[in-house]
């Protein structure tokens, strides 16, 4: 089965006129128009990178020519592949894919024969309140055990990192089981190992409790790295994420296989792209035609490949004519809201 993990660093991407206009020509017109409506350049760049990552995946891994790729959105606004599927050279198993972008990165995760979801976060000081007030607002999102772990982490920054780590695990789990606003976040509780995360080290000690029962077969792996849209089931973020996404982009990587009854035959990894960014990837039910999965202990660590802009567009071909006014509009945008700039500077 195929597996893809790609990342693109939007935060350091400063596209010139030719690059921005070429990128705009390589996505569908309605997506180009949607991206053009973003108020801030940071959001426009993240969305553009996300569309290019997705189209690159469909072109390179599914064998669909760039010009034939058709992405549409569900009534809930979630993208899906509308182009008729083709058999890949690797196998006839369908690909599932998920994209997320926050902070400095856009990340794509894709898996053949399994559903996949992704979430991204960054450790940063809250821009609208103190850490204490921020935690008070978010009290109901974690269990007493989780709050104890968060608030005993050390400094305020360490507590925030622990907060975002727990949030990433919960959000990834919710996306994996395909629920959204109706899921009580306190039903799932994570028990983190006492052993600290270290670079290039994979751990398996994190435990998940569902409805106060430990899922003993779950395996949690943590891997630090210096350098993740699904067409099978929609991703829906809890309303609380709308607040969190303004203040973090701490990435956690989360892999696990789920059956509809939430069996625990799976794998969970957490990974840092850098000191602040954590990406979460959740794998859903395996296709019935898949061979029996290997035990988690035999699975290699899944790492992300950080692509350059040239690599991002190396399979791209223009779909529309050049629109000079699109650059004129983009270059007038502020990079980010002033509050986000101030928060970033203070951390």
pLDDT tens track for 114-127: 777 778 888 888 87
pLDDT of residue 290: 53
Using CB atoms within 10 Å of the CB of residue 82, give its burial: 0 to 12 exposed, 13 to 18 middle, 19+ buried: exposed
Average of per-residue pLDDT across 92-109: 84
Q: What number is the average pLDDT over the span 179-207?
A: 70
Section 254-260 average pLDDT = 36
Both tokens of residue 60?
């390179």
Tell me how far the alpha carbon of residue 179 is from its chain's centroid.
16
Contact 52, 229 (CB under 8 A): no
Identify the three-state secondary structure at position 68. helix
Taking the C-alpha atoms of residue 259 and residue 251, their distance in angstroms, rounded to an integer, is 25
Two structure tokens written together for 232: 């099978």
- Under the phi-then-psi rule, with left for phi > 0, alpha for psi from -120 to 50, and beta for the rest, what region is 216? alpha
Exposed / middle / buried, residue 199 (Cβ in 10 Å: 0-12, 13-18, 19+): exposed
Measured distance CA(9)–CA(14) in Å, rounded = 10
Range from 145-159, 256-270, 278-292 carrying the lowest mean pLDDT: 256-270
* Residue with tokens 């940071």, as numbered in its chain: 42
Lowest pLDDT segment from 56-65, 192-201, 203-212, 254-263: 254-263
Q: What are the chain's domains?
A: 3-346 (3.90.470.20)
Q: How many C-beta atoms surround the C-beta of residue 188 within 10 A?
A: 20
Look at residue 335 and tell me whether its pLDDT is greater than 60: yes
Mean pLDDT (whole number) for 165-180:
74
Decide: 268 and 208 in contact? Cβ < 8 Å: yes
Helix (H, G, I), strand (E, B) or coil at 282: strand
Reply yes or no on whether the pLDDT at 334 is more than 80. Answer: yes
| Percentage of residues of the chain with pLDDT beyond 90 | 37
pLDDT value at position 288? 60
Task: Kindly state the tokens that stand for 11.
Answer: 């935060």
Beta bridge partners of 189: 209
Average pLDDT, the chain: 76
pLDDT for residue 44 is more than 80? yes
- C-alpha radius of gyration, the chain, whole number: 20
Per-residue confidence band for 153, with pLDDT thresholds at 50, 70 and 90 = very high
- Over residues 313-325, the pLDDT tens digits come to 999 999 999 999 9
């Amino acid at each position: 089965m195929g597996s893809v993990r790609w990342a693109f660093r939007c935060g350091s991407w400063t596209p010139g006129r030719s690059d921005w206009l070429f990128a705009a020509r390589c996505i569908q017109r309605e997506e180009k128009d949607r991206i053009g409506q973003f108020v801030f350049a940071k959001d426009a760049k993240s969305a553009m990178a996300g569309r290019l990552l997705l189209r690159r995946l469909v072109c390179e891994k599914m064998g669909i020519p760039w010009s034939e790729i058709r992405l549409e959105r569900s009534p809930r606004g979630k993208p899906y592949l509308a182009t008729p599927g083709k058999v890949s050279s690797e196998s006839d198993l369908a690909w599932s894919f998920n994209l997320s972008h926050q902070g400095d990165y856009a990340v794509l995760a894709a898996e053949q024969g399994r559903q996949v979801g992704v979430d991204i976060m960054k450790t940063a000081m809250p821009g609208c309140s103190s850490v204490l007030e921020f935690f008070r607002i978010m009290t109901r999102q974690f269990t007493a055990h989780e709050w104890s772990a968060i608030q005993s982490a050390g400094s305020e920054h360490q507590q925030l990192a622990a907060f975002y780590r727990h949030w990433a695990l919960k959000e990834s789990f919710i996306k994996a089981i395909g629920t959204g606003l109706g899921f009580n976040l306190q039903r799932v509780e994570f028990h983190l190992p006492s052993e600290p995360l270290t670079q290039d080290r994979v751990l398996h000690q994190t435990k998940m409790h569902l409805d106060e029962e430990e899922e003993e077969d779950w395996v949690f792996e943590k891997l630090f790295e210096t350098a993740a849209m699904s067409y099978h089931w929609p991703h829906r973020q809890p309303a609380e994420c709308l607040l969190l996404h303004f203040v973090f982009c701490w990435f956690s990587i989360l892999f696990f296989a789920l059956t509809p009854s939430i069996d625990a035959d799976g794998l969970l990894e957490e990974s840092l792209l850098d000191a602040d960014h954590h990406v979460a990837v959740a794998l859903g039910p395996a296709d019935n035609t898949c061979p029996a999965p290997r035990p988690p202990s035999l699975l290699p660590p899944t790492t992300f490949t950080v692509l350059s802009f040239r690599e991002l567009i190396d399979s791209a071909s223009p779909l529309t004519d050049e629109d000079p006014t699109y650059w004129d509009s983009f270059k007038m945008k502020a990079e980010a809201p002033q509050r986000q700039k101030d928060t970033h500077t203070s951390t």
